[in-house]
Amino acid sequence: QVQLVQSEAEVKRPGASVKVSCRASGYSFTDDYIHWVRQAPGKGLEWVGRINHKSGGTNYAQKFQGRMILTSDTSINTAYMELRRLRSDDTATYYCARVTVGTTCFDPWGQGTPVTVSS
Amino acid sequence: QSALTQPASVSGSPGQSITISCTGTSSDIGAFNYVSWYQQHPGKAPKLMIYDVSNRPSGVSNRFSGSKSGTTASLTISGLQAEDEADYYCSSYTITSPWVFGGGTKLTVL
């Protein structure tokens, strides 16, 4: 079945960078997009960005422009989200999710990767 | 502030029906039939329940239904069950963002 498995929890200092991975299985990785969504503790969902694995093209929510880099390694069906210059308000669980080409819904989701930014 | 507006909480008794609203603008819900709904239990990842306003993925109970009128989308859950207690989020493709979520609604089954 289609599955997304993310890397483990991270704890970082303010100003550092974090890189979260999302390994896909059960479908043709390059045919679809991987999106990233984050959720701060006790808060709602926030769309972060997406990557087209075939072209390498990316789109980011405006607030993350210049601080976030989405990449993928198609040889191992894995997408990556790197967030730089971390701040305490970046503390959140980061989810990856598949969006099939021609659709706009997120299905399935990875299990989530908690990222804590604290001095 | 979330781009889509949902009530913070709704509640209902087992067997009853509830409706959760999701209000947007002419740039998102009003512009496209690309509203989706997600269920999230505590400590778990969201799960797709409705896509393209009113379509159910395979495996989702037919007790869940969606609709849209103008710039407001709605999720209705009929025959409430204890397992339906969760947070629910709407999402829409938009002209600008290009994806936005609602702030979430906590459903309590009394």
Tokens of B107: 């459903």
Are the CB atoms for B21 and B6 separated by under 8 Å? yes
Please indicate if any CB of chain A lies within 8 Å of the CB of B57.
yes
Residue B79 vs residues B58, B63, B82, B83: alpha-carbon distances, Å: 19, 7, 10, 11
Q: Which residues of B touch A109 (CB under 8 A)?
A: 45-47
Could you tell me if residue B17 is left (phi over 0), alpha (psi between -120 and 50 degrees) or otherwise beta?
beta
Chain B residues near residue A111 by CB distance under 8 angstroms:
45
Residue A101 is predicted with a pLDDT of 87
Touching check for B51 and chain A: CB below 8 Å?
Answer: yes
pLDDT bin (cut points 50, 70, 90) of residue B1 is: very low
Q: Measured between CA atoms, how close is A13 to chain B, in angstroms?
A: 24
User: Is residue B19 predicted with pLDDT exceeding 70?
Assistant: yes
Give the pLDDT mean for B89-96.
93
Q: Is A106–B48 a contact, with Cβ atoms under 8 angstroms apart?
A: yes
Name the band, by pLDDT with cuts 50, 70 and 90, for residue B2: low
Average pLDDT, chain B: 95
Amino acid, single-letter form, for residue B10: V
The answer, for B63 touching chain A at a CB cutoff of 8 Å, is no
Query: Inter-chain contact A44–B48, Cβ cutoff 8 Å?
Result: no
Instruction: Report residue B97's pLDDT band, with 50, 70 and 90 as the boundaries.
Output: confident
- DSSP codes, A52-106: ETTT--EEE-GGGTTTEEEEEETTTTEEEEEE-S--GGG-EEEEEEEE-TT----
Q: What is the CA radius of gyration of chain A?
A: 13
Which of B49 and A53 is assigned the larger pLDDT?
B49
Amino acid A83: pLDDT: 98
What does the pLDDT look like over A104-113, one tens digit per residue? Answer: 999 999 999 9
Residue B98 above 70 pLDDT? yes
Burial of B7 (C-beta count, 10 Å sphere; 0-12/13-18/19+) = middle
pLDDT at residue A102 in the model? 87
Distance (Å, whole) CA A114 – CA A104: 25
Q: Choose the weakest-confidence range: A19-28, A91-100, B8-17, B92-101.
A: B92-101
Look at residue A115 in the predicted model and tell me its pLDDT: 98
Task: Mark residue A29 as left, alpha or beta (left: phi above 0; alpha: psi -120 to 50; beta: remaining).
Answer: alpha
Q: What is the mean pLDDT of residues A44-50?
A: 95
Using the predicted structure, report yes or no on whether residue B68 has a pLDDT greater than 60.
Answer: yes
The mean of the pLDDT values for chain A is: 95
CB-based contact, B9 to chain A, within 8 Å: no
Q: What integer is the mean pLDDT of B27-47? A: 96
- Residue B22's nearest CA partner among B106, B85, B89 is B89
pLDDT tens by residue, B41-63: 999 999 999 999 999 999 999 99
**What is the average pLDDT across A83-92?**
97
Contact B51 A103 (CB under 8 A): yes
Q: Return the minimum-mean-pLDDT range out of A1-15, B44-58, B61-75, B87-101.
A: B87-101
What is the pLDDT averaged over residues B22-45? 96
